[in-house]
Structure 1
Amino acid sequence: MKAVQFTEHGDRSVLSYEEHPDPEISADEVLIDVKAAALNHLDVHTRRGLPGVDLAMPHIPGSDAAGVVTETGSAVSRFSAGDRVAVSAGRSCGTCEYCRHGQYSMCESFHLIGEHVSGVHAELAAVPADNLVPVPETVDWPTAGSAALVFQTAWRMLHTQADLAAGEHVLVHGASGGVGHAAVQIAAHAGAVVYATASSETKLDHARDCGADHCINYDEASFTDEIYALTDGRGVDIVVDHVGPATWDDSLKSLAKGGRLVTCGATTGPTAETNINRVFWNQLRIIGSTMATPGETDDVLSLVWDGTFNPQLRTTLPMSDIARAHELLEEREGFGKVVVVPDSEMKRSANNRANPGNNEYDG
């Protein structure tokens, strides 16, 4: 098969799309014929190298994908050949104290497909059956392959960790990104008043389309000042911050008394200063969140599959153009998810369009 891979950490030049041995499945895995896969900022960080993560090389990145089951392991009963599935990347042991209480994303050995172990940006992928979600026939491949990671992450952040209630005021940073645009939709669906930040009016227009009530261009104005003006000096109840040091202090300033800051990442770095006086005096809560439980993933993806939530697609590229796909994320070009498709699948799709009588799926 062909797969996206790198043999050392570095800039985009380390990426290639070339032959790789076909994966062999174990008893609890299935083999997937990948139809579409999405990028996340995690793919960029993994390519550059993450502290404490020692990867076997060559490494295949990718945590989001969807496709058709072609083979199942001897212990797999949930899926059969021909089933349409999407990948949910979080892996847990199932036996530690956190797993036994259903908190799988807090597992002592929690890790992600594509970050810590081989990923799914390839023609074929061997994935544990527990990491798959059924995809209805009505859902197109780019949607199925781009929804799982960002929507499950945003769902757990807002509903489980921050305990979002209708009527609350929610500030979402980076509304043009994956988690950001998912969080805007989820907060709006829950009946919140949604404030979104982004770096351009074009991106903010997309945020409005996702349900944002108020949009702030952080390159032109202080988002804290704007929040105070829009809330008559009160502040918001929840801030969704996956940015880190660049927004951290002002995010805390933007909270009303008793407010909650929930974070799932730190794209501008891992270390930020915190005004402890502000935290205790205003009785703020700082909440971490990682991925989601299988039940939370099922809940939010059912709302993607029925069209309630919509993964916004920035562009679709062949996997051989993987360096350009990474560039789009690193340079913050556009809005929404970047999807890559195996080159062989792109050729099949083009053939289908040229020969309408062909019954194969046209992605």
Structure 2
Amino acid sequence: MKKLVAISTILVLIYILFASAVFSKTVAPPLPVLSSEAAIVMEATTGQVLYEKNARSQMYPASVTKIATAIYAIESGNLNDVVTVSKKARNTEGTRVYLEEGEQVTLEKLLLGLLVNSGNDAGVAVAEHISGSVESFASDVNLYLKDVIGLQDTNFENPHGLFDPQHVTTAQDLAVLTRYATKNEEFMNMFGTKELPWNGEAWDTTLYTHHKLLREKPYDGVTGGKNGFVPEAGVTLVTTAGRENLDLIVVTLKSESEAEAYNDTVQLLDFGFDNFETSSIPTNSGFFAGELEYITPREIIYTHQAGEQVEIDVTEDGKLRITDQKGTLLSSYQFPVISDSAKNRSSIQKDSGSFLEQVFSNSLYLLVIGGSIVSLVYYRSRKKR
């Protein structure tokens, strides 16, 4: 009889654990408290926004503008092209790599000077080489950002980010732009460069990235970044980082100091890495919707809160939906139309699968109830004795 008690106890414990796994709710993590006026955390693989603050408010970007300049130049030009520096580029204000008028530099070297040392003169030289003038370059970039990348709230008037009242963007657009740019290997090699020997006509030195989480205060997983500052914009910062199966993009805009910008960025990186994970539905996974079975033609990736049970279902019109416990849509995929012959096969397979699921469910239920009855009978028998 002791064995029966032990078995029934184990069954009850299994039932409790099973119920806890099915019905437990994941507690939402506490949100960061930020000093920056606008911010966003985006998962780069899925595009899922994990946190945002005033992310769609138009603001001045300062030198993080150079992310757009770099990716557009990489895709529009040839990195081996030799660029002749103009007088206008030579006399550009702000942070520079001290180009000389008439100096000849490859486009690749200019882009490195643009991203690593935030060279405004390099930005003008790039713009003039790609489009003929700064004005034409701004027009070309704006069309590119809208038509190719899909930005809606961005307008750039120059390649470097020096203040112009019409030179605006949003944290949301910068995250989308950075997500697009990071898919380009040449861009990422430049974006993550920590130091660079620079041998120019007027300047022979070693350039070090201005992004402190890449070099001065390394943060585990940081892969690239760009900072910016003009008085009207405050401190702006774009950072990319990856750990295991989670890749993050963090944007902070209009911080009053570098310390605030970096503190907010670290908070947001911690928030993302500590509380979220990326999962996937494998290729050739089957799902039923009514009488139809749909098969995933590719891996479907989604980002969700760590440990959270997500809901996966397919609507009658063949749309796969992945939602969290609050019903928020995490990802979706529209299946192609299924032929009539496939519909018939799906109906047969669904009936068979439903029968097996019902048998398993009923068996588990009877097993748990049976164990409980055995325990009760034994308890009463002992009590009578």
Give TM-score, length-normalised by structure 1.
0.24
Higher Cα Rg, which structure: 2
